[in-house]
Homo-oligomer: A and B are copies of this chain.
């Protein structure tokens, strides 16, 4: 087998205790024995980040983000040193590196910094000399020597950044699932593990809450054409490869079905004649950091103008507050809402050349007597909002219709 340079990333559950750390070490050693140069990126052990935050909460309920970063950065450092020890115990030399030691520099922002550069000289020297380099994910250092953290999904992003910096052939993301599935196998027993998926498809699925990989990491990998592989840490398995071009023969029109519960639809109605701008309302929402997903506008002659949009339930109270407080400014006459909704999306890059896919989706839902409340489409995705009690059935009938069953 040809020597390759690879990055292996282990998430929190895959290194939750010494036993799992030792198992991760054996996976690393297997790759080294294949002749590969290996850099490893780790998250904090299991729930340790939550435990650290609980300690912080006991001394200061409104602690400074800088100090939270100092505190949380210890989590990955513990994992990295333990994993390096565990790899050494298997007879392969290994060295751990903090984010700053590994040359990961970020913006000067605490809690949600973006990686600016990776000066990977040390890591490259280590792996070229036959050592495994174990790097703390989720963290870096700014130009003033301050520790920073990357926010949610940060370790995936670290793994991709390091893959780019050392020019890795592949970035393996080890998790507690077997790979990327056509839909959540906990919901649909016939869900099938995908062998491959395109970056853009994965982005839609990740954004829609599949939770396997952080969208930022997928986007980062896409921009630098680093193949990602989502693999199980707890058992054997090749996982799912995420890359740009996927084989035509595997190229199902619909590759997966994503879903999201707890959706609320808000409808805002205006008096006629309507001379205002709908932009006002979305500017106000953005100002309050409320993510709006699907937007449906109705401006037709003889009909009261209205706009509907979907939000997450967690933002509901804030949106209602905002609408009440800003009624004058926004200039609407009446607002309405509907709770208990869910979103179901079909995703696949083959859709763009298959205009009948959306129609097939609506037809399938109609036959199953599932009402569609809202619709939104993109080149590789069609999303519908349905009543939450119908969500599971919607996923099931679409999964079967588009040939995704095992």
Q: Which residues of A contact B (CB under 8 A)?
A: 18-19, 21-22, 25, 52, 55-56, 58-64, 66-68, 70-71, 73-74, 77-78, 80-86, 88-89, 95-96, 98, 101, 122, 145-147
Give A78 Cβ to nearest chain B Cβ, in Å.
Answer: 5
Q: Which 3 A-B pairs have the closest CB atoms?
A: A18-B58, A74-B74, A70-B81
Which B residues touch A56, using CB under 8 A?
81-82, 85
Chain B's closest residue to A144 (CB) is B122
Q: Please, which residue of chain B has its CB at the minimum distance from the CB of A25?
A: B59
Chain A contact residues, majority secondary structure? helix
- Whether B101 lies near A145 (C-beta < 8 A) is yes
Chain B residues lying within 8 Å of A147, measured Cβ to Cβ, are: 98, 101
A18 touching B70, Cβ below 8 Å: no
Q: List 28 A-B contacts (CB under 8 A).
A: A19-B58, A25-B59, A52-B78, A56-B82, A59-B86, A60-B85, A60-B89, A62-B89, A63-B85, A63-B89, A64-B85, A66-B95, A67-B81, A67-B84, A67-B88, A67-B96, A68-B85, A70-B80, A70-B81, A70-B84, A70-B98, A71-B77, A71-B78, A71-B82, A73-B77, A74-B74, A74-B78, A101-B146
Which chain B residue shows the least CB distance to A19?
B58
List chain B residues, Cβ under 8 A from A74: 74, 77-78
A82 touching B59, Cβ below 8 Å: yes
Which residue of B has the minimal Cβ distance to A52?
Answer: B78
Chain B proximity of A69: nearest CB distance (Å): 8
**Most chain B CB within a 10 A radius of its CB, from A25, A62, A78:** A78
**Pairwise interchain contact B71-A81, C-beta atoms closer than 8 A:** yes
Q: How far is the CA of A78 from the CA of B84 in the complex (A)?
A: 21
* Contact A55 to B77, CB < 8 A, known contacts A96-B67, A145-B101: no
Which residues of chain B are near A80, meaning CB under 8 Å?
Answer: 70
- Cα A10 to Cα B101 in complex, Å, equals 28
CA distance A88 to B65 in the complex (A): 12
Starting from the known contacts A19-B58, A71-B85, A73-B77, 17 additional A-B residue pairs (CB-CB under 8 Å) come to A18-B55, A18-B58, A21-B59, A22-B59, A55-B78, A56-B81, A56-B85, A59-B82, A59-B89, A60-B86, A63-B85, A67-B81, A67-B84, A67-B85, A67-B96, A74-B77, A77-B77
